[in-house]
Structure 1
């Protein structure tokens, strides 16, 4: 009977991060790089056609004799297009986002109660008082929604607010709230039926907003496919034309 030695290896689980290089982004953007059919570890540089000129892409590798050889990227190993990203865990984590009792819906979830629109934003903000604006915006999904709104682009103006959230600076957050950009957002939210005031709504303002929302809710509805707010009682969405 033969004895088979068994080697026990102590495995340590760790995280590794990767991202594509700028060169990879460029060739993909210019439609020069395509995947291969049967080898996911390889990519392929397109050949030039009468409609599109594709320059040759070369890479270096070492052959069996340890000599550098220049090869044409047809195919091209995907590992040449990846970069290592440092991944680590801090000894003392610093959390920038607060856990609110009334969490804002998560994006890209086509489920009832998880749709992001102006009515949802207004309902969310009304749960906070006027001096709790910092707590209201200290939510990752709220910041993403504000920064990617189609009606009013705020991405280039949201920097001071992000700094206020990062530093937990209430004064700086309230100063940003008084800017004309956020004032325009408040007006748009009010126009969408979200109430007379976004934060710190008073009794009369809340009553007026409630009556306005109840009167408009009979005709307006939010498409569950593209989240577009339809102002008519049609059976198909005016934006994506999908059924209600």
Structure 2
């Protein structure tokens, strides 16, 4: 028997004989004469849906299954007699045939989309703004929340903290889940990115942190969606521990690594870190710490994510400040309910960023709880509320002081891998990942062995198509910008002609000589105080003497 299929007639225009059908298997159009018997339409639907039996097809003007009628009960009637049309001229449009807005809540709910995309939200805000505004001049419709006391108040009182008025003090805050997200999906261009990253924990039992470098692309699974495509994970200097990570940020070479990524057409799209604990069963499984009865992102992690999103803001002309939100994503590698290793991706809301920036909130001993700070002479904290539904289904508002659930800050982001991976970097030859001295050190000896130096050709092409190799070479500072661009071109294009062009460049020859000599040149000595500075530093870190 064929499966029961509920079909909705959206619009029938009798003069063009087109019937639009919405079903569980998608939307399609069928040409039909309004005077034909319903049997003709039944056969066409069955053929379109590839049903061997059309008896169980149900039709309705309303997508609700409770209003559907078996199509076999309507045999003998024509489409015109069924009165399933919103009749209009060929230039007209009705509620059924009008295209849905990308922020349509009913559509998003049907597709299981919890947060609309940023550009859908922008369309919604612009439409509402334009409808309510009579000003012909362009006024940016977006406004970031700012909970700090406004400076230079014209209220005629002493500046804060000596004085404050209703004009300069922040208003009460009512917390609610954010309806949109700046990034809808994180796509790792290759599963090897995650495998290489968690191998450190597998080898040492210590946690690991990395920056994700990639680019932003359209994400078709969400209306006007955006995805962050991760092409590399770079691990800055850090001290891993069994239950955490110690970082020193920013680190000396950060700008150099950012420049290397920029030459590859990449930027920081987020951060990723592990939170893994072996369950000690000997079956290779890990403990599931993050779930609905504990927490997904701790209050401390939310505060850190907010600080990072504030640092990597999203520029836009639709905000008076020239920025709105952030596309910086936080990914956590932890255990799932089956004991396997899984990735979760999040952002925190714009409200969270604003509250952290204003120094209103702090982490709690309970990771699922955020604490609201008290007002001081340096910090004015307004009233903060949050709403929830009680056991009777009624919406209740409560004060968020002294604490509230961390869920009010979370924005879920999906993640995954492409069906057909096509990563930017394709080298299959391992090169030590930076700052992992316990597992292999990056130095001239390992670079020489990795490059398998020849005068160009397939070995060089394969070897340099690795972001960790490119980043290390960038730090050696032997290639100028044009020469490094040629190296990146080779790493991405994999064309032999680009390899021969590279090896003829003076900087490459200088690099080869350095590698052959085996002398590390990642530091330079100050001529004034003799301090050994990182090669990326342009002035001495001790006496500020200019590098020559």
TM-score, reference length from structure 2: 0.26
Q: CA 1:146 to 1:35, structure 2 compared with 1: closer, same or farther past 3 Å? A: farther
For 2:417 and 2:515, locate their aligned partners in 1 and report how far apart those are by CA, in whole Å. 46
Gaps of 5+ in 2: 1-337, 535-540, 543-548
Residue 386 of structure 2: aligned partner: 59
Provide closer, same or farther for how the CA distance between residues 46 and 128 of structure 1 changes in structure 2, counting only shifts above 3 A: farther
Is 2:396 the counterpart of 1:83? no
1:36 Cα offset (Å): 0.9
Which residue in 2 is equivalent to 1:33? 361
Tell me if 1:71 matches 2:409: no
Match of 2:510 in 1: 197
CA contact (8 A) 1:16 1:85 kept: no
CA distance in 1, matches of 2:428, 2:442: 18
- Residue from 127, 151, 168 that aligns with 2:453: 127
* 1:106 aligned counterpart, secondary structure: coil
Quick one: which of 21, 31, 47 aligns to 2:348?
Answer: 21
Higher helix share: 1
Deviation of the 1:16 alpha carbon: 5.9
- Alignment partners' CA distance in 2, 1:79 and 1:173: 54
In structure 2, how many angstroms separate the alpha carbons of the residues matched to 1:108 and 1:130?
A: 29
Name which of structure 1's ranges 125-134 and 54-63 shifts more when overlaid on structure 2. 125-134
What SS class does the counterpart of residue 71 from structure 1 fall into? Answer: strand
What is the CA-CA distance between 1:130 and the residue it aligns to?
Answer: 3.9
CA distance in 1, matches of 2:476, 2:399: 43
Q: CA deviation at 1:82?
A: 1.9
Question: In the alignment, which residue of structure 2 is the partner of 1:46?
Answer: 373
C-alpha distance after superposition, 1:159-206 (max 9, x if no partner)? x958x86xx52359949x87xxxx8xx85xxxxxxx8433xx5xxxx4
Q: Is the 8 A contact 1:15 1:87 kept in 2?
A: no
Aligned to 2:493: 169
Question: Which structure exhibits the higher relative contact order, with contacts defined as CA atoms closer than 8 Å and separated by 6 or more residues?
Answer: 1
2:434 equivalent to 1:110: no
Name the CA distance, whole Å, in 2 between partners of 1:46 and 1:150: 46
Quote the residue 1:7 is aligned against.
none
Q: How does 1:5-20 map to 2 (within 5 A)?
A: 15=342, 17-20=344-347
Please tell me the root mean square deviation across aligned C-alpha atoms, in Å: 4.9
Q: 1:81: Cα distance to partner? A: 1.8
Distance 1:57 1:107, change over 3 A: farther
- Shift of the 114–50 alpha-carbon distance from structure 1 to 2, 3 Å rule, reads same
- Report the Cα distance in structure 2 between the residues aligned to 1:99 and 1:139, rounded to whole angstroms: 6
> 5+ unaligned residues in a row in structure 1: which ranges?
1-10, 188-194, 223-227
Deviation at 1:94, TM superposition (A): 3.3
Aligned residue pairs, count: 184
In structure 2, relative to structure 1, the CA distance for the partners of 1:49 and 1:231 (3 Å cut) is same
Seen in structure 2, the aligned counterparts of structure 1 residues 210 and 87 have a Cα distance that, compared at 3 Å, is closer
- Taking the aligned partners of 1:41 and 1:21, their CA distance within structure 2 comes to 14
